[in-house]
Structure 1
Amino acid sequence: MIKPFNTSLFRFSTLFAIILFFSACSKKYVFDRSAIVPAAAGTIKVKKDKNENYGIKVAVRNLAPADNLVESRNTYVLWANTSGNGIKNLGQLKNASGLFSKSLKSELSTATPFEPQSFFITAENKADLNYPDGQVVLKTK
Structure 2
Amino acid sequence: MKRAKNVLLIAILLFLTSCASITKFPISSTVPAAEITAKTKQDKNKNYSIEVTAKYLASPERLNPPKNNYNVWIVTEENEIKNLGMLTNKNAKTAVLKTKTPFKVVEIFITAEDQGNNSFPNGLEISRTNLKR
TM range (shorter): 0.7 to 0.9
Match of 1:106 among 95, 98, 102: 95
**C-alpha separation between the residues in 2 aligned to 1:54 and 1:88?**
13
Structure 1 position 50 matched with structure 2 position 39:
no
Q: CA shift at 1:50, angstroms?
A: 1.5
Q: Gaps spanning 5+ residues in structure 1: where?
A: none
Read off the aligned partner of 2:115 and give its amino acid letter: K
Q: Gaps spanning 5+ residues in structure 2: where?
A: none
The structure number with the bigger radius of gyration is: 1
Cα deviations across residues 97-120 of structure 1 (Å, max 9, x unaligned)? xxxx332x1001000000001110
TM-score, with structure 1 as normaliser: 0.79
Q: CA shift at 1:28, angstroms?
A: 1.7
Q: CA shift at 1:24, angstroms?
A: 2.5
Structure 1 position 36 matched with structure 2 position 30:
yes
Report the counterpart of residue 128 of structure 1 in structure 2: 117
Verify the 8 A CA contact 1:122 1:134 in the aligned structure 2. Answer: yes
CA RMSD of aligned residues (A): 2.0
Superposition misfits of 4+ residues, deviation over 6 angstroms = none
**C-alpha separation between the residues in 1 aligned to 2:15 and 2:56?**
29
Task: Classify the secondary structure of the residue corresponding to 2:123.
Answer: coil
TM-score, with structure 2 as normaliser: 0.84
Aligned pair count reads 124
Q: CA shift at 1:23, angstroms?
A: 4.3
Percent identity, please: 39
